[in-house]
């Protein structure tokens, strides 16, 4: 399947790749049949404004189409890069990679100590993309960050580099695992 087709399918039905915790809630169970029969109503129920998809950016496409394991790794890499003292299950190789990325980009400087690092994803992507991408994330973290908003307009270049690096890392790690 081409990237453009995969992007269009994900855009039209982002709930198909939603986080497991989101699918275990009663509200989601009620929305799932609606997703099949009336996707417009499902979008409204999930807080998604229907619109045409933008042209796919390779980095956003990498996150949208990543496996659940890759999404978990991306978030763990982001968390450790932004909060280096965080207790993390990542291996030493990933820890060192996060330290080097943090030294180069200083993403932690964009956040207050108590800010969730996922704010950097929300600030980086367009609102229509966020409405769909957030379904791939842990619901309680999404709810917490949506109650506040960080304006990081002047940091878009740094955020672009941060997310390109993270998506490259999860793709490279996935590639290593599949070639063993």
pTM score of the predicted model? 0.88
Q: Which residues of the chain have pLDDT under 70?
A: 1, 22-39, 174-180
In a domain, 120, yes or no: yes
In a domain, 30, yes or no: no
In a domain, 9, yes or no: no
The pLDDT value given to residue 46: 78
In a domain, 19, yes or no: no
Burial 89-103 (b: 16+ CB within 10 A, else e): ebeeebeebbeebbe
Q: Which residue range forms the structural domain that includes residue 68?
A: 55-178
In a domain, 65, yes or no: yes
The pLDDT value given to residue 36: 65
In a domain, 39, yes or no: no
In a domain, 86, yes or no: yes
The pLDDT value given to residue 26: 46
Domain count, the chain: 1
In a domain, 41, yes or no: no
């Amino acid at each position: 399947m081409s990237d453009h087709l995969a992007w269009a399918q994900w855009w039209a039905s982002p709930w198909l790749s939603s986080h497991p915790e989101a699918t275990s809630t009663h509200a989601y169970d009620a929305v799932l049949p609606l997703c099949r029969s009336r996707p417009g109503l499902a979008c409204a129920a999930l807080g998604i404004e229907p619109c045409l998809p933008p042209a796919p950016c390779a980095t956003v496409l990498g996150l949208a189409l990543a496996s659940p394991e890759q999404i978990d790794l991306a978030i763990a890499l982001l968390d450790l890069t932004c909060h280096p003292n965080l207790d993390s299950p990542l291996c030493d190789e990933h820890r060192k990679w996060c330290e080097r990325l943090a030294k180069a980009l200083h993403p932690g400087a964009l956040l207050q100590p108590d800010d969730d690092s996922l704010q950097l994803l929300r600030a980086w992507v367009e609102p229509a993309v966020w409405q769909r991408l957030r379904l791939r994330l842990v619901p309680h973290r999404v709810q917490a960050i949506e109650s506040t908003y960080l304006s990081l307009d002047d940091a878009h270049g740094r955020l672009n580099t941060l997310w390109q690096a993270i998506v490259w890392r999860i793709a490279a790690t996935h590639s290593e695992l599949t070639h063993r």
